[in-house]
């Protein structure tokens, strides 16, 4: 049997973190804190979490003021937060949210890490019985920079079922650390984004059939815990069998002061409505 060899793009040591449902600001603050601590760690962190309330998240540099505002979000019963990563608006509601933070060398292309993580997501979904596939560069059409929402269009490397997007991901690389996080939809609520727009959209800007969810892919909808377990098992298999590494049971510590500073930033309306 061929002995697995470590990948230069992927840590060989990993830990997992499961977080209780929290506000958008707290969830983004935890991911940002893990990113900041990531450059000094020698291991990767795989986190799974959920949301206290349905929350719209905007991409770091996304221009949203022409489409959303505080009253329109409140009228739709939605909270809002701006992510530390790129991408476009999406609704976090009935889903499993994941995040991955790792140290990354300057010479490592972020696309290589992105591909490794998406392979793990794909393996987990297939283990659940989902007929999922990755969108490759030859079949992906260009992303529209003015596209309204995340789930209106699958990009290269993202996960689809029958051409419909199942997982939406966003990334950010900063000073020797990498963050990727995203949503695995248990149920497709993305049309609710249309209700939250200043000028209501009939279908939230998401073309019919552009997005799908696990309840449409499986005869029985899996629970949040079942999906989180599948993700961690796929991570363990990849780390131990492909990269000769180890998934540790040790806890992940967060710098409380750093976490508080980040949460203050994500709660600041000046950050949320910066564009």
Active site residues: 150
Contact (CB, 8 A) for 100 and 76: no
Instruction: Give which of 67, 71, 73 is closest to 91, Cα–Cα.
Output: 73
Instruction: Give which of 64, 67, 71, 99 is closest to 254, Cα–Cα.
Output: 99
In angstroms, the CA 143 to CA 120 distance is 23
Instruction: Give which of 222, 96, 101, 220 is closest to 159, Cα–Cα.
Output: 96
b/e sequence 219-246, b meaning 16+ C-beta within 10 Å? eeebebeebbbbbbebbbebbeebbebe
Cα separations (Å) of 206 from 56, 57, 86, 121, 213? 15, 16, 19, 23, 14
Residues near 173 by beta carbon (within 8 Å), at least 6 away in sequence: 104, 110, 179
Contact (CB, 8 A) for 93 and 100: no
CA 54 to chain centre: 15
Instruction: Output phi, psi for 235, to 5 deg.
Output: -60, -50
In angstroms, the CA 135 to CA 137 distance is 7
């Amino acid at each position: 049997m061929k002995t697995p060899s470590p990948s230069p793009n992927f840590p060989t040591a990993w830990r997992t973190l499961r977080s209780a449902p929290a506000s958008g600001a707290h969830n983004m603050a935890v991911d940002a804190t893990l990113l900041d601590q990531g450059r000094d760690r020698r291991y990767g962190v795989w986190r799974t979490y959920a949301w206290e309330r349905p929350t719209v998240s905007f991409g770091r540099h996304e221009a949203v003021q022409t489409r959303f505002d505080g009253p329109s979000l409140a009228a739709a019963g939605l909270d809002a937060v701006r992510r530390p990563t790129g991408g476009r608006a999406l609704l976090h509601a009935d889903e499993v949210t994941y995040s991955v933070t790792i140290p990354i060398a300057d010479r490592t292309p972020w696309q290589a890490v992105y591909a490794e993580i998406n392979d793990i997501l794909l393996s987990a979904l297939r283990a659940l019985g989902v007929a999922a596939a990755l969108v490759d560069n030859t079949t992906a059409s260009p992303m529209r920079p003015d596209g309204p929402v995340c789930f209106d269009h699958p990009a290269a490397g993202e996960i689809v079922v029958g051409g419909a997007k199942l997982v939406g991901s966003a990334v950010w690389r900063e000073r020797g650390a990498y963050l990727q996080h995203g949503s695995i939809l248990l149920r497709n609520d993305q049309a609710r984004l249309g209700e939250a727009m200043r000028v209501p959209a009939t279908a939230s800007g998401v073309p019919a059939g552009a997005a799908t969810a696990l309840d449409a892919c499986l005869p029985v909808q899996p629970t949040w815990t079942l999906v989180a377990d599948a993700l961690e098992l796929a991570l363990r298999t990849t780390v131990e069998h492909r990269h000769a590494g180890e998934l540790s049971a040790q806890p992940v510590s967060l710098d409380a002061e750093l976490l508080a500073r980040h949460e203050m930033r994500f709660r600041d309306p000046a950050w949320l409505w910066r564009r």
